Structure formats: C-alpha cells, structure tokens
Structure 1
Amino acid sequence: MIHWALATLILAFALVAAWWLSLKPSNDRDWADEVSRTLRGRVQGSLVLLRDIRDFDWRGNTDYTARWHDSVYDLETLQSVDMALSYWMGPAIAHTLVSFGFSDGRHLVFSVEIRRERDEAFSTLGGFLRQFELAIVAAEERDILHVRAGPRKEQVFLYPVRMPAPALRALFLSYVERANQLAQKPRFYHTLTANCTTLVYDMVRPLVPGLPLDYRLILSGYLPEYLYSHGGLDTHLPLDVLRAQADITQRAAQSGTAAAFSQRIRTPASAKRTVPPS
C-alpha cells in the first residue's frame, strides 16, 4: 500500500514537472498597456537609436494617456547614471531602476519588469512558476518615476552612482543588447534569478571586476548599503545623509509629467524630507 502511494506521488510530481517544463515564453500575448511594446535598439558608432520608449502621461494608476516614441542617444554625451529604488512593501524589497543622464539634460530610465498580461497582477509566487515573461522597459523619468511616487504611492529614492565613463557606456549598451535579445527570444521572469536587480548585477559584474554576490542583491531595498560598501556611492558623506538627499518622493509626485521633471526632482527641496522605509 505504501509503495502504491509513493508511486502515485512520484507520478503526480512528474506530471506537474512535465507541465511546468512545457511552458514556453512568448512575445505574443494580450499585454497590459505599459508593457505592450518591445524595446529595440540599433547601434551605429556612438549613436544608439531606441524604438518604443515609454512616455505615458499618468493621472492615476489606471488613468493615463499612452505615448511611445523613438529617439537617438549619443554615447559621447552620456555623463551620469543614477540608481532609483522604489519601495512598496517595507525596507527589504524595492524595485530597482537605472537612469542614464546626457549632457543635453535628457534622462532615460531602464527598468527590468514582469511583462504582465492585461488581466494579470503581480505575484511573488507566480514569479517562481513561469507565470510572467520578462521585459526591459526604457522610459522617460517623468513617466516611470512619477507613476511610482505619485499614483502608486511608493517611496522613491534616487542615488547618483560613481562609475567610470567607459563602464557607463558599456552598461547602457548592455541594456540595449539585452532588450534586443528579449525581442528575438523571450524568457520568463524569475523572482530570484531573473529580476530587476539580479539582471543589473549580471550586466555590471563584467564591468566592475571583483563585485561580489551578496544577499542584498535579493533584498534589493538594502542596495544602497551594498553600493556604499563597495564605493559605488559617494563615501565622503554618511550613508544616512545620502539616503535623505536621495528621497525624491515628494518632488516626483508633485512634478507630474512636466517637461522639467528631471531637473525638478534633482533640485533640493526646503520641505521636510520623509524618513527612509522602516
């Protein structure tokens, strides 16, 4: 009797495993509007043409005007990179975004996200079970930072990251390469191994030799501590001071989709800053 029960259990497990392995990622589904298009890029010398950059006008979390555009970026004018962290469920978990700044004042944000279907909602468990495809979104700051700080009521921090110019350009190109790969061959999002932080680490690791694996790559809310300890942030100031300076929540929420959004969120405000998540 015990043998039959064990055999039945093994068979059931094998059937579930076979079903799970049979799931294939796709670029052809009824996607939610904000991930409905696939980013693609073409590199010609120092110029990068990106297609389908997101620039939504968000009035609420479900009230928006969808806009997409193409644009050309000159890597010779790339001069800064910022790490944005958006907290929605306590201090340990944050969504990681990377914003590149150019000498003409433009800022472009790359975000590794789930590619949610129209009737789906994010689920941590679903991220383990091949429920979601993976997406790389390129967006204007006035879209992707505003919607998180404003309509979604998340707490958003923006940290200037120290990175040599060659590594800065290589990281930008790595995002473009990964986006092109996903456009040709979709893959699944995974809560631990293919998420908004681990993919960034995979791209940065070849550019910064010796950058170690760390639990804070999973508990991404603690990424500032990780970067600070490895010289990625300005260590002339205490981390608590950097964290207070990085809190752009109020400015990003209030600036809406103004053309000067990027300048406004980087202008120190006299208003009282919110405390970091705790």
Structure 2
Amino acid sequence: MLFWPILAIGGLLGGTALHVQFPQARWVVWLFVLALLAVAVLRVVTPWGWHALALCAVLVGGWYLSLAPRQDRDWAPELSRIVSADIDGPIVTLHDVRDFRWHDRDNGEARWRDMVVNLDQLQSADMITSVWSNPKIAHLLVSFGFADGQRVVFSVEIRREKGEFFSNIGGFFRQFELALIAATEEDIVKLRTNHRVEDVRLYPLRLTPEQLRPLFLAYLELGNHLARTPEFYNTVTANCTTVVWQLVRVLKPDLPLHRGLLLSGLLPDWLYQLGVLDGEDGLDTLRESARITDRARAAPEGADFSAVIRAR
C-alpha cells in the first residue's frame, strides 16, 4: 500500500515543479501526467511498478536538482542590481544603492548610486514592516541611520524577471533568485507608503553601537555573497524574514525559532518580548505609533521624507 501514497505525493510535487518551471509549455506537465498513469498501470498489471516509479523519480528529481540560480536573466529594472560593498577600516563604499523616483506603483525614474558611510557614525536601526493584504504577513526592511544624516535601507527580496509576478508556490520550487537591495528611504519606503498604499510601520530598534556594527556588516557580507554567487529564494527557508533572522544571530547565536519567521506580521510581537523594540508604553501603543503610511502621504512635496515618517 506504500506505493500509492508515494506515487500521489511524488506526482503532486513533481507536477507542481514542472508547472512552475514551464509556464509556457504545459505539454511538459501533461507528459508527466501520462507517465504517472503508465506507472500506475504497470503497478497493477506487471511486477515492474516500483521500477517505473523509481525511474520517474530519478528523471524528475535529477532535472529539478540540476536547476541552478543565475545572475544573467532579464530582470525587472528595480531588481537589476544587487548591492555590494568595499570595506576599508570604518569606511564603507556601497555600490548600486537604489534611489528611484517612483511615478506610480510600477514605474519610476531609475537611479543607482554609490554611497560612502562611516561605521563609526552608525547610530541607529529601525525595523520597517509593510503589509499589503493579510496582517499576519509582512515584508521586512531594516533601515540604518548615521550621524551625518545618511540612511540606507536593506531589503531581502525575490529577484523577479520582467513581467514576472510573485508566487508563494513558485517560491517553493526554485522560480526566483534571492536579492539583497540597498536603497534610500525616499525610494523603497515611499514606494510602499505613497504608491502601493500599504500598511507600513516603523519600529526603532534598541541596539547599542557595538550591536549595530556587526549587524550592518552582516548585511554587507550577504550582499557581496549574492553579487558573486546567486542563490534561490525559498518561501520558508530563505525569505525576507528568515534571512534577517539568520543575520540577527550574529548578535545572539542562540536566538530561537519563532512562528513570526513564517507569519512575519507577528514579528514585532516577538521582538518586543525579547526587549529589542524601543517602546515603553506597551505593545499596542507601540504598534499604533509605528504607523507611517498616512503621515508619509500627507507630507508636502519636497519635505524631508525620513524626518516626516519619524515625527511623533
């Protein structure tokens, strides 16, 4: 009886992987379905069912494991570059920092620039969450502030190709590469508050300068790694929340797993319990005061965006 559950589960996984990887060639999926039917018939009428199933598993599994992440796809413009950095003592030169000026949620003036920051002036970090539908699911960004007024936001994202859309299912089956974007708040936060009109919240993090530096450097290490060696995004194991959790373990190696890693909208609750969020009046008050979307949308043209979203 073990044969049939294995055939069903393997067929579901293999069929979904083929569906994701061959969106314009559905005949590949139908060919796989016919192969499964042939395996089932062989199981019923011959002693070769297990052999046929093993052959299918080897062929499909071998194909799937041969899929490799790439750097040379026709990327969406806002994901065409991954941040990298040169580090010379306390001086860091960030390459390919995104500074788009968005006209609407999908179109903007493409601007990429270098940014030079001094680690000795690193003085703050804020966690930014952005919810577009389900309040339990949020995109996570981290913004670092320097004494000279510069700010840089890091965002772990899927690296979409032109015309491609995010899919949770596709994220399980190697549809997307992983990207680390460094951007200005005027770009990456304003896109979410003013054009996508998402529920965006900003939470100051309670970190010392001694904690801020290794966290910032961990992001730089990730960016340099992904710029050299592409990796696949995964909906569970390599997404915007789990990657940040891995980076934060630089500060606390024994940091436990938590459901907030999957239900990222619950992450502020967890961090508040750990004493990482800077709030003295309770979590409900903190969550309400963290809202910045209305504040950002009400700001006059030309206002200092970073100052506006932090005004209390």
* Amino acid of the structure 1 residue aligned with 2:163: D
Task: Go from structure 1 to structure 2 and tell me whether the alpha carbon gap of 1:99 and 1:7 turns closer, same or farther (over 3 Å shift).
Answer: same
Say whether 1:175 aligns with 2:216.
Answer: no
- Which residue of structure 2 lines up, in the alignment, with residue 251 of structure 1? 295
Q: Could you report, residue by residue, the CA deviation over 1:103-125 in whole angstroms, capped at 9, with x for unpaired residues?
A: 12221100000111112110111
Q: Contact 1:108–1:139 at 8 Å: present in 2 too?
A: yes
- Which residue of structure 1 lines up, in the alignment, with residue 67 of structure 2? 23
Q: Contact 1:111–1:138 at 8 Å: present in 2 too?
A: yes
Match of 2:156 among 112, 118, 127: 112
- Which residue of structure 2 lines up, in the alignment, with residue 276 of structure 1? none
Match of 1:136 among 180, 198, 212: 180
Say whether 1:216 aligns with 2:260.
Answer: yes
Deviating more after overlay: 132-141 vs 7-16: 7-16
Task: Go from structure 1 to structure 2 and tell me whether the alpha carbon gap of 1:173 and 1:256 turns closer, same or farther (over 3 Å shift).
Answer: farther
The Cα of 1:20 is off from its aligned counterpart by: 1.1
Q: Could you report, residue by residue, the CA deviation over 1:88-117 in whole angstroms, capped at 9, with x for unpaired residues?
A: 121211000000011122211000001111
Q: Within 2, Cα distance between the matches of 1:77 and 1:263?
A: 18
Q: Contact 1:83–1:97 at 8 Å: present in 2 too?
A: yes
Kindly report the root-mean-square deviation, in angstroms, between the aligned alpha carbons of the 2 structures: 1.6
- Which residue of structure 2 lines up, in the alignment, with residue 33 of structure 1? 77
Structure with greater Cα Rg: 2
Q: Contact 2:214–2:250 at 8 Å: present in 1 too?
A: no
Q: Where do 1:1-278 residues align within 5 Å?
A: 1-2=42-43, 3-255=47-299, 258=302, 260-268=304-312
Q: Contact 2:260–2:267 at 8 Å: present in 1 too?
A: yes
Q: Within 2, Cα distance between the matches of 1:204 and 1:46?
A: 21
* Amino acid of the structure 2 residue aligned with 1:180: N
The Cα of 1:246 is off from its aligned counterpart by: 0.4
Q: Contact 2:127–2:205 at 8 Å: present in 1 too?
A: yes
Aligned pair count? 268
The Cα of 1:257 is off from its aligned counterpart by: 7.8
The Cα of 1:258 is off from its aligned counterpart by: 4.0
* Amino acid of the structure 2 residue aligned with 1:56: F
Partner SS state of residue 197, structure 1: helix
Q: Within 2, Cα distance between the matches of 1:67 and 1:106?
A: 17
* Amino acid of the structure 2 residue aligned with 1:10: A
Task: Go from structure 1 to structure 2 and tell me whether the alpha carbon gap of 1:258 and 1:132 turns closer, same or farther (over 3 Å shift).
Answer: farther
Partner SS state of residue 127, structure 2: strand
- Which ranges in structure 2 are unaligned for 5 or more consecutive residues? 1-41
Partner SS state of residue 96, structure 1: strand
Q: Contact 2:125–2:144 at 8 Å: present in 1 too?
A: yes
Q: Contact 1:58–1:257 at 8 Å: present in 2 too?
A: no
Q: Within 1, Cα distance between the matches of 2:300 and 2:136?
A: 27
* Amino acid of the structure 2 residue aligned with 1:108: V
Partner SS state of residue 117, structure 1: coil
Q: Within 2, Cα distance between the matches of 1:162 and 1:222?
A: 18
Partner SS state of residue 269, structure 2: helix
The Cα of 1:259 is off from its aligned counterpart by: 5.9
Q: Which has the higher contact order (CA 8 A, sep 6+)?
A: 1
Q: Contact 1:150–1:254 at 8 Å: present in 2 too?
A: no
Partner SS state of residue 193, structure 1: coil
- Which residue of structure 1 lines up, in the alignment, with residue 31 of structure 2? none
Partner SS state of residue 143, structure 2: strand
Task: Go from structure 1 to structure 2 and tell me whether the alpha carbon gap of 1:257 and 1:26 turns closer, same or farther (over 3 Å shift).
Answer: farther
Q: Within 2, Cα distance between the matches of 1:148 and 1:185?
A: 29
- Which residue of structure 2 lines up, in the alignment, with residue 273 of structure 1? none
Q: Within 1, Cα distance between the matches of 2:94 and 2:146?
A: 15
State, as a whole percentage, how many aligned pairs show the same letter: 51
